[in-house]
A and B are shown apart, each in its own frame.
Chain A
Amino acid sequence: MEDLKSFLIEKVLLFESDTLSSDTEKVLGQVRREKPAQPVVYLSSGTSSLIAGSARTYSAIENYISENALEAKLISVGCTGPANFEPLVCVHIPGKNKLFFRNITEEKVEPLLNGVFHNDINEDDLAGQTGTKGFELWPGIPFMDEHPFFSNQKRVVLGNCGCYDPESIEEYIARGGYRSYVKAIRHYTYDEVCDIIEKSGLRGRSGGGYLTGLKWKHALNTNANARYLICNAKESDPGAFTDRTILESDPHRLLEGIAIGAYAIGASNAIIFIRSGSDHARNRLQRAIDSAREFGLFGHDIFSSGYNLDIVIKKEPGAFVCGEETALINTLEGKRGMPQLKPPYPTTAGLFGKPTVINNVETLMNVPLIMQNGPEWFRSLGTENSPGTKVFAVAGKGRMSGVVEVEMGTSIRTILEDIADGIREGKDFKAIQLGGASGSFITSEHLDLTIDFDELRENGIGMGAGGFVIIDENTCMVDLVRYYMEFIRNESCGKCIPCREGTGRMLEILESVIRKPLNEESGTTLERFKGVMQLETIASVMKDTSLCGLGQTAPNPFMSALKNFRDEFEEHIFDRKCRANICRGLRSFSIDVEKCTGCTACASKCPVNAIYGTRLQPFFIVEDKCIGCGICFDICKFSAITVK
């Protein structure tokens, strides 16, 4: 192992020419396990695979290998993307193409591996094959990259995800990693690196879309005795998990991006600010930092370049708002994570008053690729003003879900209809929610818009950090807006009045809209109605006067839902009806006497004892008592309960 380390440092990282010798390439090919001498089994191991049960699959495969005394290797890799396929197992038999199998839970392991090793493959579990020239094809098995989920994607940032062992720095270097960084610190000046990134036109992927190269230059040109680079990995929007997948699947490329960024602004301290729940990602990242340090990639006077760099991980203590730049800096300084007025911008006076650059995970992932392939390569991807690709966490009611990367300029329809394969179970499409808790809804009229910072902004839609939630007709928009508002209300830091009071008041009004009609005499109906009249005013005041992005964008889900689904709001307010039958307060149930068999199941489960009747005779529901919880509806085996 020690030999391999010094080999990689001397023959790869410090090798001056762009093309490596064929002997070196041969060793690197072995590290990449391109032509393995023994079978290799790869297993996806990100959080979403763990939720699907990949930890048990891992031990089942381990047991199978040892019980059958096989000369085979088992390797944990990151997530390839399609969450529906997890746990995803890939088997590479020497000389043949790689075979992918989906949903391999522990009980499927034995029949699967028996089949693969004896040429009797169960077609049901098969996801596809991938391979290169010179390998034997599996006849009649489709290629993975021809699957619509992959064929419509452009995987650049995610190029390494699911392909290599994220805990092996050797493998990352064998895939070309850390070479751009070592080259940068040994041969380029700070300005040159900034220039390359500026030329590439890379824009911040956290939603704002500010030019990364320009941001770096601001920090570099500010006079100071210390500078900081912060990687913002605090991703806690409901329904967004792209950053975490990247951290779990390809931590080394992120570290390389951070290292190049830190060098470009002349910072010798970099901080990764990570979300508190992502323990799996944090552990992987920490191991990656440790092994990079062992290779001498971080530390003092790195490879005699005179450059020092230290990267540390800081765990976020649990507040949505501390993902905002200035709040993040406050948190790192040991204060409450409350935002501050800008200017001064962090690039002038950030952490401890020093120039600080804060970049999102996806932005930094692009940096090593730009350094490696040149800014023109990056410009050749995407659109003129938004070059490159964008990663989305596709979730919700689509048939396929998972982490998806498309070229900028791809239409939203392509993601919905081709990659996510449309809506589940023959339901109708209703909307897409782009960009987390404070994003906007995209309806069918906007599906042909393309993923491009400017085009989306012109249409009043923010790019967002990467949430792409597909919503079908079974969703009540009012309830969904209330859900987002509840989230934001809980997460508002409370510093400025519009956000603190506004979110609370908006939530209160939205709750009253979906609440069961109360006694008319007490004036509650009038109060509710007065509130409804105020909703739009509150929303616009919050948008204009809140201190930070959290408050300014908090009314977005409401505003765009009101614009596109006004009839649903009106139905809730005037007719006291929820067409999706979601809002508990507005539902009332009744029993179809024809279908009811008098089995007593509903009556015994009703939490408020609102169902009466005699055994084996039709039952009935007392409407005044019913709270609309729907337990009876879920439990009835004879579909005798109807919703009004």
Chain B
Amino acid sequence: MSTDLDTIIKKYKQGKREDLIPLLQEIQEDQGFLSEEAIVKTGTFLGLSTTKIYGLATFYDKFRFIPAGKIQIKICHGTSCFLNGSQSIINRIKEETGINPGQTTRDGNFSYEIVSCMGGCNNGPVITVNGEFHSHVKAEQLPELIKKLKYVIDND
């Protein structure tokens, strides 16, 4: 259950410019994404125009403006994982889900993102599915994995 926006904003009593990023981060942690309402409210509170906030938030890649999927996949694309074939995993996920990194499928089931290094270099390629690690992933395992996950969502 997410907290009321005002409760989060109230924590930043002084309302200075440097509070902007931590505030947006906290809202996103709580609600999963930055809604239009959140951006407008933050702007009113900090006295900043919404375009400025949107401009800042889009500069950084950890902010998202649509809710993440029920299943979030993160793919490590560090050098070691790349040498072991993470590119083909990204390609396969793209094919399977039909979306680009950072997007969410229309049914709201899947989203995925590419991260630069998870630090599990000798177990690469590494992916996480809702925080759970999978190591030595092969592209041909993915359709099966995604099918299984879809089954879990449908029967949830």
Once bound together, how far apart are the Cα atoms of A109 and B59, in whole Å? Answer: 47
A334-B59 contact in complex given A238-B79, A475-B83, C-beta closer than 8 Å: no
Contact between A238 and B78, CB atoms less than 8 A apart: yes
The CA-CA distance from A318 to B77 in the complex, in Å, is 15
Q: Within the complex, what minimum Cβ distance (angstroms) separates A481 from chain B?
A: 12
Question: CB within 8 A of B63: which of A83, A317, A332?
Answer: A317
Check if A332 sits within 8 Å of B60, measured CB to CB: no
Verify B121–A317 contact, CB threshold 8 A. no
Interface 0/1 of B96-138, CB less than 8 Å to A? 0000000000000000000111111111001000000101000
Cβ B116 vs Cβ A393 within 8 A: no
User: Chain A, 436-467, contact with B by CB distance < 8 Å: what is the 0/1 string?
Assistant: 00000000000000000000000000000001
Size of chain A's interface in residues, with CB distance under 8 A?
A: 54
**In whole Å, how far is B19's beta carbon from the nearest beta carbon of chain A?**
7
Q: Are A335 and B17 in contact (CB under 8 A)?
A: yes
A51→B135 contact, CB < 8 A: yes
Q: Which chain A residue shows the least CB distance to B63?
A: A317
Q: Is B148 in contact with chain A by the CB < 8 A criterion?
A: no
A48 x B117 contact (CB < 8 A): no
The yes or no answer to A487 lying at the interface (CB within 8 A) is: yes
Q: Are B63 and A241 closer than 8 Å at their CB atoms?
A: no
Residues of chain B lying within 8 A (CB to CB) of residue A607 = 95
Asked if B154 is at the interface (CB within 8 A of a chain A CB), the reply is: no
Q: Give the chain B neighbours of A483 by CB distance below 8 A.
A: 79, 82, 87
Q: Are A238 and B120 in contact (CB under 8 A)?
A: no
A393 touches B121 (CB 8 A): yes
Chain B binder among A28-36, A64-72, A250-258, A394-402? A394-402
Please tell me if B94 contacts chain A, counting CB pairs below 8 Å.
Answer: no
Q: Which of A43-63 contact B (CB under 8 A)?
A: 46-48, 50-53
Set B62, B117, B120: member contacting A52, Cβ < 8 A: B120
Min distance, Cβ A283 to any Cβ of chain B, angstroms: 13
B116 pairs with A320, CB closer than 8 A: yes
Contact for B117 among A241, A471, A475, CB less than 8 A: A241
Q: Contact partner of A47 among B17, B78, B87, B120, CB < 8 A?
A: B120
Residue pair A83, B121 in contact (C-beta under 8 Å): yes
Q: Could you give, for residues 40-54 of chain B, a 1 whenever the CB lies within 8 Å of some chain A CB and a 0 otherwise? A: 000000000000000
Say which residue of B21, B115, B122 sits within 8 Å of A334 (CB atoms). B21
Give the secondary structure class of A's interface: mixed
Q: What's the least CB distance linking A81 to chain B, in Å?
A: 12
B95 to chain A, nearest CB (A): 8
Q: Kindly state whether residue B156 has any CB partner on chain A within 8 Å.
A: no
Closest beta carbon of chain B to A57's beta carbon, Å: 13
Q: Using Cβ atoms and an 8 Å threshold, which residues of chain B touch A388?
A: none
In the complex, B18 has a CB within 8 A of chain A:
yes
Bitwise interface map of B from 18 to 42 toward A, beta carbon under 8 Å scored 1, else 0? 1111101100000000000000000
Q: Answer yes or no: A239 CB below 8 A from chain B CBs.
A: yes
Q: How far is B133's CA from A304's CA once the two chains are assembled, in angstroms?
A: 47
Please give, as numbers and ranges, the residues of chain A lying within 8 Å of B61 by CB-CB distance.
318-319
A471 to chain B, nearest CB (A): 7
Also in contact, A238 and B140, with CB within 8 A (given A51-B126, A337-B60): no
* Selected contact of B83 from candidates A236, A245, A396, A635, CB within 8 Å: A396
Is the CB of B72 closer than 8 A to any CB of chain A?
A: no
Q: Contact partner of B116 among A236, A333, A395, A493, CB < 8 A?
A: A236
Q: How far is the CB of A270 from chain B (nearest CB, A)?
A: 15
Q: List chain A residues, Cβ under 8 A from B121.
A: 48, 83, 239, 241, 393, 395-396, 401
What's the least CB distance linking A132 to chain B, in Å? Answer: 30
Q: In the assembly, what is the distance between CA of A396 and CA of B17, in Å?
A: 42
- The reply to whether the CB of A634 lies closer than 8 angstroms to some CB of chain B is yes
User: Which chain A positions have C-beta within 8 A of B133?
Assistant: 50-51, 53
Task: Please tell me the number of chain B residues within 8 Å of chain A, measured between CB atoms.
Answer: 37
A401 to B78, CA, bound (A): 14
Minimal Cβ-Cβ distance residue in A for B23: A334
Q: Cβ of B78: which chain A residues have Cβ within 8 Å of it?
A: 238-239, 395
**Are A334 and B18 also in contact (CB < 8 A) when A318-B62, A483-B82 are?**
yes
The 8 Å CB contact of B79, one of A52, A236, A469, A493, is: A469
How many whole Å from A127's CB to the nearest CB in chain B? Answer: 15
When the two chains form their complex, are residues B82 and A238 in contact, meaning their CB atoms are under 8 A apart? yes
Complexed CA–CA distance, A45 and B41 (Å)? 41
Closest to A634 in B: B140
Shortest beta-carbon distance from A319 to chain B in Å: 5
Q: Which of B17, B63, B82, B133 counts the most chain A CB atoms within 10 A?
A: B82
Is A363 an interface residue, CB under 8 A from the partner? no
Identify the closest chain A residue to B79 (Cβ): A239
Mask, A596-636, CB within 8 Å of B = 1, is 00000000000100000000000000000000000100110
- Contact among B62, B77, B80, B120 with A276 in the assembled complex (CB-CB below 8 Å): B62
Q: Is B83 touching A48 in the complex (CB atoms < 8 A)?
A: no
CB neighbours of A493 from chain B (8 A): 59
* Residue of A335, A471, A493 with most partner-chain B CB within 10 A: A335
How many angstroms from the CA of A402 to the CA of B126 in the assembled complex? 15
B120-A487 in contact (CB<8A): no
Whether A153 is near chain B, meaning CB under 8 Å from some CB there, is no
Interface string of A166-196 (1 = CB under 8 A from B): 0000000000000000000000000000000
Q: With an 8 A cutoff between CB atoms, is A336 at the interface?
A: yes
* Min CB–CB distance A565 → chain B (angstroms): 16
**A360 contacts the other chain (CB 8 A):** no
Is the Cβ of B62 less than 8 Å from the Cβ of A396? no
- Residues on A with C-beta less than 8 A from B83 are 396-397, 469, 471, 475, 480
Contact string against A for B residues 79-92, beta-carbon threshold 8 Å, 1 for contact and 0 otherwise:
11011000100000
Distance in angstroms between the alpha carbons of A397 and B82 in the assembled complex? 11
Contacts of A148 on B, CB cut-off 8 Å? none
CA distance in complex: A131, B59 (Å): 52
Q: Do the beta carbons of B55 and A314 come within 8 Å of each other?
A: no
Q: From A239, which residue of chain B is reached at the shortest CB distance? A: B79
Chain A residues with CB under 8 Å of B142's CB are: none
A631 closest partner in B (C-beta): B140
Bound-state CA distance A335–B53 (Å) is 9
Nearest opposing residue in chain A for B91, CB measure: A629
| Given A239-B79, A336-B59, A467-B79, A395 contacting B17 (CB threshold 8 A) | no
| Residues of chain B having any CB pair with chain A under 8 Å | 16-22, 24-25, 55-56, 59-63, 77-80, 82-83, 87, 95, 115-123, 126, 133, 135, 140
> Which A-B residue pairs are the 3 nearest by beta carbons?
A318-B62, A51-B120, A395-B121
A-B contact pairs, 20 of them (CB 8 A): A48-B121, A51-B118, A51-B120, A51-B123, A51-B126, A51-B135, A239-B78, A239-B121, A241-B119, A277-B118, A315-B22, A317-B62, A334-B16, A334-B19, A352-B18, A395-B122, A396-B79, A396-B80, A469-B79, A483-B79
**Which residues of chain A have a CB within 8 Å of any CB of chain B?**
46-48, 50-53, 83-84, 236-241, 244-245, 276-277, 314-320, 322, 331-337, 352, 393, 395-397, 401-402, 433, 467, 469, 471, 475, 480, 483, 487, 493, 607, 631, 634-635
